[in-house]
Structure 1
Amino acid sequence: MYEPLSDLPAGGAAPGEPAPRVGVDVDAGEIFEALPDAWLVLDADMQVVAANRAYLALVSSERAALVGRSIYEINQAGSAAQREARRQWLDTMLGGGVPGESRLGPPIRYDLADGAAGPLVPRYWQARVTLMSTARGERLYGLCVHDITGRMEDEAREQRERAKLRSQARLRQVLMEEANEQLRLQQEQLQHALAFARVGAWELQTQTGMFTCNDQFKMLLGLPPAATITESRLFGELIDVEHRERVRDAFDAARFADAPVEVDFRVTWPSRERRWVLLRAARPRGGEAPGSDAGGATGGTTGGTTGGTAGGTAPIIGLALDISMRKELELEHQAAAVAERAARERSEEATRAMDHFVAAVSHELRSPLGAIQSWATLLQRAGDLAHMARAGTVIERNARQLALMVDDLLDSGAIATGKLSIELAPVDLGALAGNIAEDMRMRIEEKGVRLIADELDSCVVMADEKRLRQVIWNLMTNALKFSETGEIVVSVRATRVASGQAGAVQLSVRDSGRGIAPDVLERIFERFYQAEGSGRASGLGLGLWLARSIVRLHGGSIWAESAGEGQGATFRVSLPRYR
């Protein structure tokens, strides 16, 4: 057993510890023994005065082997070199100093045996030395010893790991440099190949709307190599207006779909030359899937672009080809196909019109010829004068009808071949319309239709009176043909114009008959045309076509108006007024 420590600093505090302030008796030795840290106390001659349980356990030693011996003599298990290093280490920590000074020594390796007879195990130590003095003024050294083997091993392991990481980083750097050099060479080869093939390569950053592309892509758009291309410029300036919406839809499809997109469009170069470009676009593999919120950003278009939306922040890459020659041939083939289809439709329409014409001529000629033949036979067999007078009237009326049809056919042929001539002279359109109305009044009123011709202004036009009479007659005959009751109103008025201008004259023929469906308002002026579903009407289907052709020869215009079937119709003729 060792002697209890009685010369510790006043109050019984452990080395380096403040004196307790409790009001009870405390045994300093018990406190020292109970300290969790490993402590040694040395006197001025560097002999061990005391060692606590933590120290004894740390060095696996007995107290008797330590107390009363020099610090330089105990724990002599290490190699000669380690013992010498330990001596120098102790000299550095224990030399000099003033009471109350505390110093931390550097780490040191000093191996100890594992157990009483075990092999030496690498151990690392660090100690804090505190210089003290007793109540009698004697110098004491307190050594708080720490086993830092685990920490040192961790640091050594970390150093090895850092060295390994540095080695791996350097290896990666070398491999990266080699890969970059190989990539640079491949990119150069690709650029040469693209330039030789006249293929434009590009990449669109959808978040910024900026294009990264080769010079060939810029050339395809008619731009110099130094030009900058943005998505807003592409759609707002470079692509022709009629193609922009379609190409924008294709870009949106490339943004949100995994499948590649192909679209063609036309551009107009600054030289006014027009070129066709084929664009193939796709989202690269590894881009975010449709609907993802890459980067945590969502939003609308910026700078006129369609990028920046959720799921559409991945870049788009693609190629561009000049397909002008192929597109021109394609458009020529399409135009030829359209022309061929239109010609076929016209041919079919002409065939149908001819069939209708033959049927109409057969019907229209058969009726008057049959009447003439029947009444002529009756004249040969009957001697009654009353029957003879009636027969003559019927024969004359049907012969006149035949003559009108023959005239229409002849005029139709002359107009179709461009041989119909007109002789212009001043004609009072109001008076001419009034005369024709009076000539037709009896025929109209016999059918139960009322004729109104009150507003016939005197308006002079330069026209062929015979042809103009034919126009008015055909319009009034057409109105009567499709009116069972109601009225027919004929009017002639001069339109108001600015001072110094001749103006125009408008003839209108309005009826309250069957009316005209909106989808056939323009077709009623076609040759041989008769509206379907309107009932079989007499005539060859030439009257309105002849009227339009004659009016156009006079430099005028003709059109029809109707609120629909059963709402009547109005035909208007506008001719230049003669001064």
Structure 2
Amino acid sequence: MTAPTRVLIVDDDPGDRKLLRRLLNDIEIETSAEEADSASAALTPRDTTPELIFLDHLLPGTTGLALLPDLRRLYPRTAVVLMTGQGSEDTAKSAIQQGAVDYVSKKQLTAASVSRILRRGLETARMRAQLDEQRRELETFAHVLVHDLRAPVNSVRALSEIIAESVAEGDLETVTREAALVQRSARLMGDLIDSLASYIRNDRVPQRLRTRPNSIVTSALTLLEGEIGKRGARIRTELCDTAFDCDPPQVSLLVQNLVANSLRYSEASPPEITIRARLAGGWMEFEVCDNGPGVPADKRDMIFEPFRRLRGARDSSGTGLGLATCRKIVQRHGGRIWCAEPPDGRGACFRARFPMVAAPMAAARTG
């Protein structure tokens, strides 16, 4: 079962909106359409992200070209098609330069052309998003090589020199101590490489199966048994029994990363972590809350960027890719993740929403 393709029609003419709705109903692609009759209505945040926007060029007080950059910022993964009553080569050129995937005269709108525009637009947007992700991953990879691996490599080099000198002097106590530090540096490098590999690997298209939250959470907690036992953490779960479409290993990794994040930052003894899964409209919503120090309101967006970490982690070995990986997993599923206000006003609380059924294209946002 595939979810309808989400379409937003931005046009101040009721007749044109009605015509486009009728054409969408006549094509073989199942769609779910919303309407906006002004720029402000188009920029109003929605519970679901549109996958394609039909944008009229002439709007009250503005133009589609003027509105296009704002829509691209609000919905960076969404395909935008500019429409106009009168064809213009200059307008078409400007639209494509500003990020529109297509340009069409309203006189040319038919069921066949709308179907073609929809298919081509979604594919173009998907390819653009993939290229953007690959570019960001190259930047991430370069960052790791240039900055994050340098410290443990330099540490191993310096410790090796000390070990060589100590061996020559017969100082076995120093050799033993420094060898343990070399092993620690090697583990840090290994953890960093594993984290980077996980971040990049989760770029693949999810392989969705009908899955219940309990199996996902059980898998995540099994992999964290050692750290949970070491911290004496108290884990409480409140999980609904409704199945939804997802890639189970990816969503399990998301829960694992969120719980590991709570364990890393919590200075409470013992840490208390609550994991919930519940229905929220047409979404499956996971929630992980803890009794740690929480996340300042002005930092709740930036923590999802690669290598952005808050001060105060009791375990400084984190790589700064855990929440970035969570965001990527949610985006590939067409969902949403954010750092929410804790229910009781203390600790940190993360929520991730996944569509109940598979969407044809992931077009998620954070926040």
Scaled by the length of structure 2, the TM-score of the pair is 0.46
Q: Which has the higher contact order (CA 8 A, sep 6+)?
A: 2
More helix by share: 2
Scaled by the length of structure 1, the TM-score of the pair is 0.31
Please identify the structure whose Cα radius of gyration is greater: 1
